[in-house]
Structure 1
Amino acid sequence: MGLDCRAPNFSLTTNQTFVADKLSSLNIFNISLLGIVSTIGIIENLLILGVVGFRVNRSIISIWILNLAASDLLATSTLPFFTLYMARGGTWILGSTFCRIYSSIFFLNMFVSAFLLAAISLDRCLVVVQPVWAQNYRNLQLVGKICVGIWAFAVICTIPFFMFRDAIPLQSGKIMCYYHYSLYLPSKPFDLKALCRQRKEGLAFMKLFFAFLIPLIIIILSYVAVNASLARRGCRRPFRFVRLVIAVVVTFVLCWSPYHLFIIIEVMASSGSPAQKVASKALPISTAFGFLNSVLNPILYVFSCPDLCRKIRHSLGAVMESVLAEDLAEFSRRRSTARSSISNSEFAIRKKSSTQMFSLKPEDSKLGDSLSNSAETCIMTS
């Protein structure tokens, strides 16, 4: 088995995920970015799933948002493992099976997120361009079936990436979670190097077309059609709508274009070329920006809705009030218990003192009188 079959450039793979033992400032920045994105993404998507799933009436847009938030939560939940991988200098310590699972979740989110964004754009386009058809056929059941189909197709697209992912030991002693193109070899004679290159290029261009270019074209054409339809009717485009369209397209392009660009450069550039070295070093950062899309999606599609923002603020306020009420109740209970114990202690001391006074013997009474007389004498003479 040739070395080139395990990774796009096996001689450069140690550079791809930080060959240096000491983390550079760029690596520290990337790890910090991953940690921030992971924390915000998990909290944000959990909040949206809770509010939209339990406090918002079921609607078509809520189904889109729930599926998008579920996909983004799935992706951001794997970020801590990727952060650990980066923090250990590009050494994978969680085994081959989990390497495949973790990588597959990343690619599944890539496909699901792109397909859902395209479907949401088409849905809005049909509502504006074909309002009669949308009124008659657009319902919760249809949108639910479309979401199931999107997830199923995304799983099918993810299968090749699951198959060719593996934990690969390097000569430097590190273990890399990356592609292993020489798995599942055919039984008939073949050129191993050519086969590995075909698989490498096929996976790269599959991601480029299905997870980026085709959804991006659908998003752009959908909003162009919406804009043209509104213009023909003489309707003024709301500023919020225009802002949302621009934000969706720009965010999708900025988050995912660097990742796909460097993947294609790494695949197409010759082995050991400067372009491939740059692409190998830039891939971890571009992957982090791809994850960033899972944080920005809820902001674009959820927080642009004032009613939903109000519900989220109300939910957070209710949670905080509940927590504060429990804390105050606990504090009052403890304070009341402390006061009760102090009062009981004082009562016991006073009762004991009173008992002792009434139980003094005659000799003790005489001793007390003499002590009192001595005290008075000291006061008089001083």
Structure 2
Amino acid sequence: MLSEISERLVLSPGNFPWLENYSSLIDYGGENDSDFCCEAPPCLQDFSLSFDRAFLPAIYGILFVLGLLGNGAVVAVLLSQRAALSSTDTFLLHLAVADALLVLTLPLWAVDAAIEWVFGSGLCKVAGALFNINFYAGALLLACISFDRYLSIVHATQLYRRGPPTRVALTCVIVWGLCLLFALPEFIFLSAHRDYRLNVTQCQHDFPQVGRTAVRLVQLVAGFLLPLMVMTYCYARILAVLLVSRGQRRLRAMRLVVVVVVAFALCWTPYHLVVLVDIFMNMGALARDCNRESRVDVAKSITSGLAYMHCCLNPLLYAFVGVKFRERMWMLLLRLGCPGQSGHQRNLPSSRRDSSWSETTEASSFQGL
């Protein structure tokens, strides 16, 4: 996904005199040469490249720090309570790990945008695959959390709690296995290539444009549309159940489930819409227009930054809104000997809830489901 940035052909007539004589390289001929076909010269992308060099390193650096701190805190608190983790907690642990691993790749892509790919083919494959594995993992784990809550609240079915303890672990293994399968093109086809015309090294796929289009379509369907459909259906059914009830805790649950779906949709929809336009242009469904291509490239950079921001929002949406998470965070800080936290210990709320992280589970317990 991020390697698309390196796949843009950025040409400038001032730097490449052969472009000025491009028309002389093409024999248009007459009627006798009607069989001759050639492609139009590539669009100049000086503006989009300059924008990427200024925008992407800055936004990736900010997201790297925020995402690593937020998801690192979630992982630390969850691991400190390993014996008491519910199914939702386990999914959230894997989600935080996926988000943390995803943001770990951002500094590499920031350097790539600012200068060029300087890390070799091996790290190109690893970084591209790692990014895509955790991109898929984040979306699929959100769908798993939605389905788990849907069964618990709507059907009063505790799929994981009443089943074998390995069931939730098996679900996570299946999710990671699917993500690894989806990331195989990065392991196989990504590599560092030296473009001697541009005098830069790029981390990009070896397969033709049709292969890149196929990979983008898989990302659109498996990494966005299907998880969004699952989340929307599950949370719509949950809201239908909660709306018939009263009480402040249920109102909090309603707000949370709405925010979860809206955050995912708002963060990722603009990016995938831009990618869809890019797919149409590459397939020839849209007429070729250099100004449009430049605008799409800039829009892709902006919306990708918004999309990766979702990795920073997940800790807030799924953890920090939970009262017991703050309690356990204070307990962890006390255990680590952080000064100034002793005054908070006696003010920590007492809770017997099944899940530490979700107001939705509070509603489930409150209903007696």
**TM tier, smaller:** 0.7 to 0.9
- Out of 85, 92, 101, the position equivalent to 1:65 is 92
1:316 has 2:316 as partner = no
Q: Map Cα deviations across residues 275-301 of structure 1 (whole Å, 9 max, x no partner).
A: 322222332333222221111111111
Q: State the distance in 1 between where 2:45 and 2:338 align.
A: 51
Matched residue SS, 1:321: coil
What displacement does 1:257 show? 1.8
TM-score of the two chains, using structure 1 as the length reference: 0.70
3-state SS of the aligned residue for 1:96? helix
User: Which residue matches 1:78?
Assistant: 105
The 1:50/1:226 distance shift into structure 2, 3 A limit, reads same
Q: What does residue 240 of structure 1 align with?
A: 252
Q: Distance in 2 between matches of 1:49 and 1:122?
A: 22
Inter-partner Cα distance in structure 1 for 2:337 and 2:93: 24
CA spacing shift, 1:16–1:214, aligned 2, 3 Å: farther
AA at the equivalent of 1:86:
A
Greater CA drift, 311-320 or 124-133: 311-320
Partner Cα distance (2:181, 2:78) in 1: 28
Indicate yes or no: 2:189 matched with 1:172: no
Pairing partner for 1:30 from 56, 63, 74: 56
Aligned partners of 1:161 and 1:203 also within 8 Å: no
AA in 2 matched with 1:176: Q
Structure 2 residue aligned with 1:48, among 74, 80, 93? 74
Q: Which residue is 1:15 aligned to? A: 45
How far, CA to CA, are the matches of 1:92 and 1:36 in structure 2?
20
What CA distance in whole angstroms lies between the structure 2 residues aligned with 1:306 and 1:285? 34
- Quote how far apart the aligned CAs of 1:38 are: 0.3
Question: Mean alpha-carbon deviation: is it higher for 299-308 or for 136-145?
Answer: 136-145
1:362 aligned partner:
none
Pick from 255, 277, 289 the counterpart of residue 265 of structure 1: 277
**SS at the partner of 2:62?**
helix
Cα separation, partners in 2 of 1:320 and 1:40, compared to 1, 3 Å: farther
Give distance in 1, aligned partners of 2:215 and 2:117: 22
TM-score between the two structures when normalised by the length of structure 2: 0.72
Runs of at least 5 residues in structure 1 that lack an aligned partner in the other structure: 1-5, 182-195, 325-382
Contact in 1 for aligned 2:47/2:294 (Cα 8 Å): no
The one-letter code of the counterpart of 2:106 is L
Say which of 147, 156, 159 aligns to 2:181.
156
CA distance in structure 1 between the partners assigned to 2:337 and 2:200 by the alignment: 46
Partner residue in 2 for 1:99: 124
CA contact (8 A) 1:34 1:79 kept: yes
| Contact 1:15–1:281 (CA under 8 A) maintained in structure 2 | no
Alignment of 1:209 onto 2:221: yes
8 Å Cα contact 1:59/1:140 also seen in 2: no
Whether 1:275 and 2:306 are equivalent positions in the alignment is no
Question: Structure 1 pair 52/136, CA: closer, same or farther in 2 (3 Å)?
Answer: closer
In the alignment, the residues of structure 1 paired with residue 256 and residue 46 of structure 2 have an alpha-carbon distance, to the nearest angstrom, of 36
Other-structure match for 1:302: 319
Map 1:190-201 onto structure 2 (within 5 A): 196-201=208-213
- Conserved? CA contact 2:48–2:297, under 8 Å: no
Count of equivalent residues: 297
- Partner of residue 380, structure 1: none
- Residue 176 of structure 1: CA displacement? 2.0
Residue 225 (structure 1) shift: 1.4
Bigger Rg over Cα:
1
Conservation of the 8 A alpha-carbon contact between 2:141 and 2:175: yes
> Is contact 1:60-1:140 (8 Å) kept?
no
CA contact (8 A) 1:16 1:280 kept: no
Q: Tell me the CA shift for residue 47 of structure 1.
A: 1.6
- Give the Å deviation of 1:123: 0.4
Amino acid at match of 1:62: D
User: What is the rounded CA distance, in whole Å, between the counterparts of 1:44 and 1:14 in structure 2?
Assistant: 40
Deviation of 1:267 (Å): 2.1
Q: Which runs of 5+ in 2 are unaligned?
A: 1-5, 12-41, 342-369
Distance 1:14 1:140 in 2: 57
1:235 aligned partner, one-letter code: S
- Aligned match of 2:306: 289
Percent of pairs with identical residues: 25
Distance 1:59 1:50 in 2: 16
Question: What is residue 137 of structure 2 aligned with on the other side?
Answer: 112
Task: Report the 3-state secondary structure (helix = DSSP H, G, I; strand = E; otherwise coil) of the residue aligned with 1:121.
Answer: helix
| Partner deviation per Cα, 1:41-92 (whole Å, 9 max, x = no partner) | 112222211111113522212211110011011111111112222222xx11
Secondary structure, aligned partner of 2:85: coil
**SS of 2:245 mapped into structure 1:** coil
Matched, 1:220 2:232: yes
CA RMSD of aligned residues (A): 2.8
- Report how far residue 310 of structure 1 moved: 1.6
Q: CA deviation at 1:141?
A: 2.0
